[in-house]
Amino acid sequence: MKTLSRILAPTVLAVFPFPALRAQAPSSTTISDEVHRQAFDYLLGDWEFTGERAGENGRSMFHGYWTATRTPGSHSLVDEFRVVDDAEKTLYVTTTLRAFDPRDHKWRIASIERSGNLAEGRAWKDGNDMRIEQSFGGRVLRFRYYNIQADRFSWVGSGPDEKGEYQEFQWIEARRIGPHVPGTLRIR
């Protein structure tokens, strides 16, 4: 286990400076802001997931690990999403910074893949669900976290087809395998 503040936070904050978030927050926050600031708290901790992805050659199954922690001294979260093969070798990994923006009451999100590809977007609470719109190389994808409980959640991704209509293409079922340990990501 590696300490987030020592290893990851300076790098993530240098890559994703979120200049708009440096502006002074409103002097008072609303109850709505506090609810929204805590909207991703369910993700804190360690998760194992199984998933299914629709592609040109049909559907394929995958599995992996997801770990999230709060950045030191803030309401921001950083997480690592890692798909592994049966031998636990990493096939895909992305690191995401999630920061609440009190000016529009939404979360700003920036994800970076091992290749260096960057995806930026917004997230918001929608009833009991969390929704994300994120741009991956000009293609806007939508994600919905639902059935959120203390020990599990579900996730679905959708993207535009050739007509521009959004179709579901990826599904995940996650189950908690470890509690949140402040300031740490359990990097595999």
CA atoms of 124 and 76, how far apart (whole Å):
14
pLDDT in tens, 122-153: 999 999 999 999 998 888 999 999 999 999 99
Is the pLDDT score of 116 beyond 80?
A: yes
Superfamily of domain 2-14+41-185: Calycin beta-barrel core domain (2.40.128.20)
The contacts of residue 77 (CB under 8 Å, 6+ apart) are 40, 43, 44, 68, 69, 70, 71, 97, 98
pTM for this prediction: 0.78
Mean pLDDT lowest for which of 58-62, 114-118, 166-170, 183-187? 183-187
Q: Locate the domains of the chain by residue range.
A: 2-14+41-185
